[in-house]
Each structure stands twice: as C-alpha cells, then as structure tokens.
Amino acid sequence: MAVGRPLRPLLHGDPLKSEPLEPGLDLGHDFARPELLAEALTHRSALDRQPDLKAAFPNGNERLEFLGDRVLSLAMADLLLRRFPHEREGDLARRYSALVQAATLVEIAEAIGLGAVLNLGDSERHSGTVQPTILADAMEAVLGALFLDAGFAVAATTIERLWGERLSASLAAPRDAKTALQEWAQARRLPLPSYREVDREGPPHAPVFVVDVSIKGQEPGRGRAGSKREAERLAAAALLERLGTS
C-alpha cells in the first residue's frame, strides 16, 4: 500500500527536525521522514516541559501506537499463515497471542535499545529504567512510523526480522495462559476462573491495571499490565506457575 499525503495529518504542526536514527536503535531502516521517528519516540509525559514537542505532537506517540498495533496484527497474521500452512485456526491464534502480547513487545524493544532513546518525562523514568507498558506502546509506535515512512512491505519485513527467532522457536503452538488455566479447572470439574480488577495504578495517561484471578480452593494469582487483557493473562500465568503447570 502506498503511503501518500492523506496520512500526513498524523503529524501536528511543523515537523520537528530530527537527527539520523540513533546508532543504538537497531531497526535496519533509515527514515526518509525522520519526524515520524521523532513522534514515535515521544511519550506524552515529555510534553509538559518541552513546548516545541507539544506543539508538534500534542498526543505524543499515541496515534502512531494505534496505527502500529494494527500493522503488527496484520503482518503477524500473514507471517503465521505462510509459516504454518497446515495449522488450524486455534493453534495459529495461540501463536499469534504469544507473539503480539506486551511481554514480547518489551523483549523486542529491549533488544533494539528502544528504551535508551525514548523521550520521556522525569516521572516516567524510575531508577534509570522504563516502564514495560511504555516500552511496549513505543514499540508499536515505531512500527506505525515505519509503515508511514516506507509502506507495509517494509514494516512487515522488519517485523519478520525482529521476531524471527520467536516465530520459529517452538514447533508446538503455545497455549494462552487464560486458556490453559480454564482447561486446568475444567479437568477437575471446578468452576471457571474468575477475573477481577482490584486496583489501578500509575498516572491517568498511562494506567497500570491490577487484576486477580481466582479458582475455587486456590489463592488468587495477580497480574499488572497496561491493559486489562494483558493483566488477566499475567494473573493466569502467575496462578499456573503456582500450580506447577506453566
């Protein structure tokens, strides 16, 4: 798909001048429009003390994150269909969930050095580290920027390269933690797992959901993440680990 001027409104105000891609960010792509990379690396928390950034990107990298999530979804679905032509939909769905989950995005972001080049406010850097939810969101924003700069083919090729080892790491399709926990309960004729949001931490623009999952006769498992869905998955994984089935 060719990317032309109709998609330019993702940028706000005059494009910022940007230096070439940082040596530590291993994307394998030189941006023809470096202002897209600047937007992708700008977290909303950085805007209050930087008026120029706020004028150019009043939403930080959130719009590119929205786009990058969809780019990753389509690219990953296509990759899985081509790599596993004989697998059933359910197995493909489990692979897909494992490959696009926040934890995997964080691993990719750390591998390419994304955290070191993010533009963050002081409140979002804790002891020199970046919150996992911010890293995962920024990884999606970078993919959105790649799509706008060079098109879907380049973005998909980059995804295949960055995720390559994970795509073929296991011959067996992984089970989603929530599915595995449900199957564990059903095998013992127990009621289905119950998920409950018990807290919401962090600032309003970057909430962290705290979710407990309960099964009759067991202590709850707990998960924390930037989305309820991911927090539920982490809670299920924590309970499975305690049960000795992870």
| Distance separating alpha carbons of residues 191 and 141, to the nearest angstrom | 40
Alpha carbon separation from 218 to 114, 156, 183, 194, 242 (Å, rounded): 39, 43, 15, 12, 10
Give residue 199's pLDDT band: very low, low, confident or very high (50, 70, 90): very high
Out of 69, 124, 149, 212, the active site residue is 69
Q: Is residue 27's pLDDT more than 90?
A: no
Q: Which run of H or E residues covers position 107?
A: helix 102-111
**pLDDT band, very low/low/confident/very high, at 172 (cuts 50, 70, 90):** low
Architecture of domain 5-167: Orthogonal Bundle (1.10)
- Where is 209: in which H helix or E strand? strand 208-214
pLDDT of residue 173: 56
CATH number of 177-243: 3.30.160.20
Say which DSSP state 119 is in: B
Res. 56: pLDDT tops 60: yes
Give catalytic status of residue 78 as yes or no.
Answer: no
* Among 35, 62, 137, 140, the one annotated catalytic: 140
The kind and range of the H/E element at 52 are: helix 51-56
Kindly list the domain boundaries of the chain, sorted by start residue.
5-167, 177-243
**Which range (100-109, 116-125, 218-227) has the least confidence?**
116-125
Q: How far apart are CA 149 and CA 170, in angstroms?
A: 33
| Whether residue 69 lies in the annotated active site | yes
d(CA 203, CA 101): 22
**Ranges 18-22, 130-134, 222-226: which has the least confidence:** 18-22
Q: How high is the mean pLDDT of the chain?
A: 83
Q: Which pLDDT band holds residue 144 (cuts at 50, 70, 90)?
A: very high
Predicted pLDDT of residue 127:
56
